[in-house]
Amino acid sequence: MKNAIRHPKDFIIFILCLMLIGYSLPLAAQSPDTQKGLRDYYKSYFPIGVAVSPQALKNKEEATLILTQFNSLTPENAMKMGPIHPEENRYNWKDADSIVNFGQAHHLKVRGHNLCWHEQTPRWLFKDDLGNEVTKDVLLKRLKDHITAVVTRYKGKIYAWDVVNEAIDDDSTKFLRNSLWCKICGEDFITKAFEYAHAADPDAILIYNDYNTERPEKRERVYKLLKKLVEAKVPINGVGIQAHWSIYEPSQKELVASIKEFSSLGLKVQITELDVSVYPWEKNHRALREGETGAYTVDLEQKQSDKYAEVFKVFREYRNVITGVTFWNISDKHTWLDEYPVRGRKNYPLLFDQNLQPKKAYWKVVNF
Ligand code: GLA
């Protein structure tokens, strides 16, 4: 090197080369052990998680990406009541075990998702042998058996559980969703679910999880429920802001208001299912309309990067109450938003593209 730099001009060229290499490094494919990932940039803030299937963990490229970028896992479906408890006296542990084992082997945190929800429930749950709806006593006993079995199996391995998912109604004039849980048990199913989970693992962080929690009308109803639970001394520790967002919402103001309001109850906040759709939020399934191209334009890419930058800035500011940020799916190669709500419309809601490469939004999230 000494001989190579004989003239000041050589030195300038040498420095320029160094700068060029430094600038292009993050964009180049780097080996997993040298590449800095989201988990490293956010090391002193909060764990960065991702929702996974057992299949993704067996895919070499996806597993490598997970291990470089994330330090927390959430099973996307494997622990939901339908998949894990298909018959009253039979549990299907295989998929959930494989995710927990992967987490343990690689020193990743694991979140449990979820213990009580109105969707993806097993067929047998609400019916007796004759096909009649079960009584409140029977349903609570089933809930207790389920929660006790699942939480006990992963005690000490799962650090936080989404105990009750989406109990607030979609209709802003109503409070609790009129699910079979609510119809048969009233509000008690929520309280009991937390109590059963706490009894099975007193050290686990227990969370109420919901979507659209930044919209003022929903936020108020979620707050009302959380306040009731906290005042009744139900063992709840946190609230999950699902964060199925879009380039259009939430506004920074709405997001901050939710975080402040929920945490004012002494609860921790976790961002549990983050993605930023490039389309406006819709609830109901529908077919693709004429003229809907589903193209990921430069404009959408820019708006999405700006939204990601904005929400992560808020997350960093509230690091004292935010104890985890989890993305819902790994990359744009596969996202649940490809199917929902518009069948056959491709979406691009994550930080990695369809080739698992970091997108513009990724660099906005890590350059702070
Ligand atoms: C909800 C659930 C998740 C998942 C998403 C859609 O947010 O909590 O488990 O099913 O819907 O994939």
CA–CA separation, 236 and 260 (whole Å): 17
Q: Is the CB of 194 under 6 A from ligand 1?
A: no
In a domain, 202, yes or no: yes
Query: What range defines the domain where residue 223 resides?
Result: 38-366
pTM comes to: 0.91
Considering only CA atoms, which residue is closest to atom 4 of ligand 1? 76
CA–CA separation, 194 and 236 (whole Å): 7
**Bridge partners, 246 (sequence order):** 277
Which has the closest alpha carbon to 218: 254, 183, 265?
254
In a domain, 100, yes or no: yes
Q: Which of 79, 272, 273, 336 to mutate to test the pocket of ligand 1 (most atoms within 8 A of CB)?
A: 273
Torsion angle in degrees (nearest 10) through CA of 21, 23, 27, 30: 40
Q: What is the pLDDT of residues 145-196, one digit of tens each?
A: 999 999 999 999 999 999 999 999 999 999 999 999 999 999 999 999 999 9
Q: Is the CB of 210 under 6 A from ligand 1?
A: no
Q: What is the pLDDT of residues 256-308, one digit of tens each?
A: 999 999 999 999 999 999 999 999 999 999 999 998 888 999 999 999 999 99
SS3 content of the chain, % helix, strand, coil (to 5): 40, 15, 40
In a domain, 23, yes or no: no
What's the N-to-C CA distance of the chain in angstroms? 34
Number of domains in the chain: 1
Among 62, 76, 214, 273, the one annotated catalytic: 273
Q: Is the CB of 165 under 6 A from ligand 1?
A: yes
In a domain, 263, yes or no: yes
In a domain, 173, yes or no: yes
In a domain, 66, yes or no: yes
In a domain, 199, yes or no: yes
Q: Is 61 a catalytic residue?
A: no
pLDDT at 16: 55
Helices (H), 128-215: 136-153, 180-185, 188-200
Q: How far is the CA of 341 from the centre of ligand 1 (A)?
A: 12
Q: What is the pLDDT of residues 202-245, one digit of tens each?
A: 999 999 999 999 999 999 999 999 999 999 999 999 999 999 99
Per-residue pLDDT averaged across 40-52, rounded?
98
**Bridge partners, 331 (sequence order):** none
Q: How far is the CA of 112 from the centre of ligand 1 (A)?
A: 13
Residue 86 half-sphere exposure toward CB, CA atoms < 13 A: 7
Q: Is the CB of 41 under 6 A from ligand 1?
A: no
Name the average pLDDT for the chain. 93
The CATH number of the domain where 171 resides is what? 3.20.20.80
Per-residue pLDDT averaged across 119-127, rounded?
98
Q: What is the largest CA-CA distance in the chain?
A: 92
CA–CA separation, 293 and 219 (whole Å): 33
In a domain, 120, yes or no: yes
